[in-house]
Amino acid sequence: EIVLTQSPGTLSLSPGERATLSCRASQSISTSYIAWYQQKPGQAPRLLVYGASNRATGIPDRFSGSGSATDFILTISRLEPEDIAVYYCQQYGNSPPWTFGQGTKVEIK
């Protein structure tokens, strides 16, 4: 099973600042089968990024994904108050099980 480790656990930033969220895999993920999800309090998760770097439909361009092999990054270029949420990475390789990281909580300072 591929283990995903996200860091930091909590990120506290001011509006307009850049947020960098990390997701590290215990083994290389082929074809960058990594997705990122945003979960706001009391809501279901929402897909942000798939294939490591492709924004999902309707996602603002301040969100971007990058990385390959074992190291992946989600960047929020200019933090907005509505970006307060927990962010999860997930690997969806050809061979299950699929796994999630433990999440990074983004707070507004």
Partner 1 sequence: EVQLAESGGGLVRPGGSLRLSCTASAFTLSNAWMSWVRQAPGKGLEWVGRIKSKSDGGTIDYAAPLKGRFTIARDDSKNILYLQMNSLKTEDTAVYYCTMIHYEILTGYLVSWGQGTLVTVSS
Q: Which residues bind partner 1 (CB under 8 A)?
A: 1, 33, 35, 37, 39, 44-47, 50-51, 56, 86, 88, 90, 92-94, 96-103
Contact 99, 37 (CB under 8 A): no
Q: Fill in the DSSP letter of residue 31.
A: G
**Measured from the CB atom, is 44 or 61 closer to partner 1?**
44
**Measured from the CB atom, is 45 or 70 closer to partner 1?**
45
Cα–Cα distance measured from residue 81 to residue 109, given in angstroms and rounded to the nearest whole number: 10
| Closest to 29 (Cα-Cα) out of 59, 65, 71 | 71
Beta bridge partners of 25: 4
**Measured from the CB atom, is 14 or 94 closer to partner 1?**
94
- In the complex, what is the shortest distance from the CB of residue 12 to partner 1, in angstroms, rounded to a whole number? 19
